[in-house]
Structure formats: C-alpha cells, structure tokens
Amino acid sequence: MAERKPKPPTPAPPVSTDEKQAARRSHWKPGQSGNPKGRPPGQSDITKLRASIAEHVPGIVERLVSAAKDGDVQAARLLIERVLPPVRPVEQPQPMDLPEGDLTAKGQAILDATARGDLAPSQAAALIGAVGTLARVAEVDELARRVKALEENHGKS
C-alpha cells in the first residue's frame, strides 16, 4: 500500500485592515464585563464571612476592651494597633543661612551644620541633592551662554 501524505493546511485568506479594525471594535466596551452571567457582586466567600462576623463585632470589641482593662496585654496591643495610627517621626523644618558664593561652599556649610547636629542627616541629604541639581542647572546655563557667545562671534566673522 502506498503511504498517504497529509495535505498541508489551507492558508487563511488575507484579512484586510478594515476587517481587523471592525473585529477590534466588536470587543467589549470599557466597563462591560467579560462574563455578564458570572458571580454577582457580594457573593464571594470573603463577603459572606465578613457578613457573618459583622453582627458579632460589637460584642467582640466589648470583650477585648474589658480584657485589656483587666490587664490582658495582647488584647490591649490589638486594640491600640487597630485604632491608633502608627507614630511616625516628623522632622521640623530648620532655617539655615547658606553662604554666598559657589556651590561647594554651600555644600560644605550643609555638612558642617549636620556635623554640629543643627541639621538632621535626612534633611542634609535632601539639601545636598538640591545643591547637586542646582549645579546641573548652572552647567546648562553656562553652556547656553557659551553657545550664544560662539554664535555671536561666528556670525560676525
């Protein structure tokens, strides 16, 4: 018997750009669900669990408060962690006189103030970053002045 060779797949006809655009337009619209008959909102396991606990919350909180008042440290910690926001350090702005002159002198003044304890290290880091940015701006200004001078001199020749 002769072996039969499988036929190569028939190539799909070329799709025009208009057909591609029409196919894209027929997809879901913004805000339209991909599965409109899917699970309705509020029917997840988490939502059901929260609903079953919700009616008991006042009693639970009341028992936690009484346990905390009776000296239960874990109950007190749980209440405080959930009710009070964490305390974060806040750095007060520090007035500082920077010397006139070049940026190096300004940077040195910032480091000196940090070494004396007049300025927090994080504030000093922010100020040094600002001085560095100012240095880049000054470089651009200087380059612009030089280009302008060269163009004026070249135009006069």
| Residue 6, H or E segment | none
Q: Which amino acid is at 93?
A: P
Mean pLDDT of the chain: 84
What is the pLDDT averaged over residues 91-107?
86
Q: Which two tokens stand for residue 157?
A: 């020749």
What is the pLDDT averaged over residues 129-135?
94
Domain boundaries, the chain: 45-83, 103-156
C-alpha torsion sign, points 69, 72, 75, 77: positive
pLDDT in the model for residue 39: 76
Whether the pLDDT of residue 4 is over 90: the answer is no
pLDDT band, very low/low/confident/very high, at 75 (cuts 50, 70, 90): very high
The Cα 122–Cα 128 span in angstroms is 10
What is the pLDDT averaged over residues 85-105?
84
Q: CA gyration radius for the chain?
A: 36
pLDDT in the model for residue 1: 55
More reliable by pLDDT, 69 or 89: 69
**What percent of the chain clears pLDDT 70, i.e. is strictly above it?**
84
More reliable by pLDDT, 101 or 138: 138
Give the orientation angle of helix 103-116 with respect to helix 121-156, to 10 degrees: 180
Residue pLDDT, tens place only, 5-61: 777 777 666 666 676 666 666 666 777 777 777 777 777 888 889 888 998 999 999
Among 75, 77, 80, smallest CA distance to 60 is for 75
pLDDT band, very low/low/confident/very high, at 130 (cuts 50, 70, 90): very high
